[in-house]
Amino acid sequence: MAEHTATIHWSRENEANFVDNRYSRAHLWTFDGGAEIHASSSPHVVPVPMSEPSAVDPEEVFIASLSSCHMLWFLSIAAKRGFIVNEYLDKACGIMGKNSEGRVVITNVTLSPQVSFHGDNRPSLADIESMHHAAHESCYIASSVKSEIHCNPIIHIL
């Protein structure tokens, strides 16, 4: 199987007093292909200025990785079935709450993909639902987590 890597780097700023717990949570993610992303704790979890609101946080990336994985599988499945996808837009949302053990977790993820198609070969509602179901079943990320994951496609048939 493939190996995927990420390097996460954080360092204390300007001799900041670390033990007062008021240090910056801003850090850098570098991926095996060279992409760099500025990251931080969520301002919902650690207040500004210790968090950087313009940076991505792990919770956002968790949601984005689920959405991205689903999209990539959906596009592949649509192509194999002969449907031309023009655009795919998903405004995914994750909800944090407590699980049965009382731990704070992302309890629910809802994907809301809107897909537009091109050409004469347009999928039926049943085709679209089938492709989303197959994408969810194929997604490595969705298969790797315990959170409840929903997909509520927003379907516009022209």
Per-residue pLDDT reduced to its tens digit, 61-71: 999 999 999 99
The whole-number average pLDDT for the span 37-58 is 95
Residue 158 pLDDT grade (very low, low, confident, very high; cuts 50, 70, 90): low
Whole-number mean pLDDT of the chain?
Answer: 94
Residue 155 pLDDT grade (very low, low, confident, very high; cuts 50, 70, 90): confident
Residue 46 has pLDDT above 80, yes or no: yes
Q: What is the pLDDT of residues 10-25, one digit of tens each?
A: 999 888 789 999 999 9
Q: What is the pLDDT of residues 122-132, one digit of tens each?
A: 999 999 999 99
Q: Which residues pair with 87 in a beta bridge?
A: 116
CA distances from 82 to 73, 74, 118, 144 (A): 14, 12, 11, 29
In order of their start, the domains of the chain are 1-56 (3.30.300.20), 58-155 (3.30.300.20)
Alpha-carbon distance of 150 to 111, in angstroms, equals: 6
Residue 51 pLDDT grade (very low, low, confident, very high; cuts 50, 70, 90): very high
Q: What pLDDT is stored for residue 156 in this prediction?
A: 76
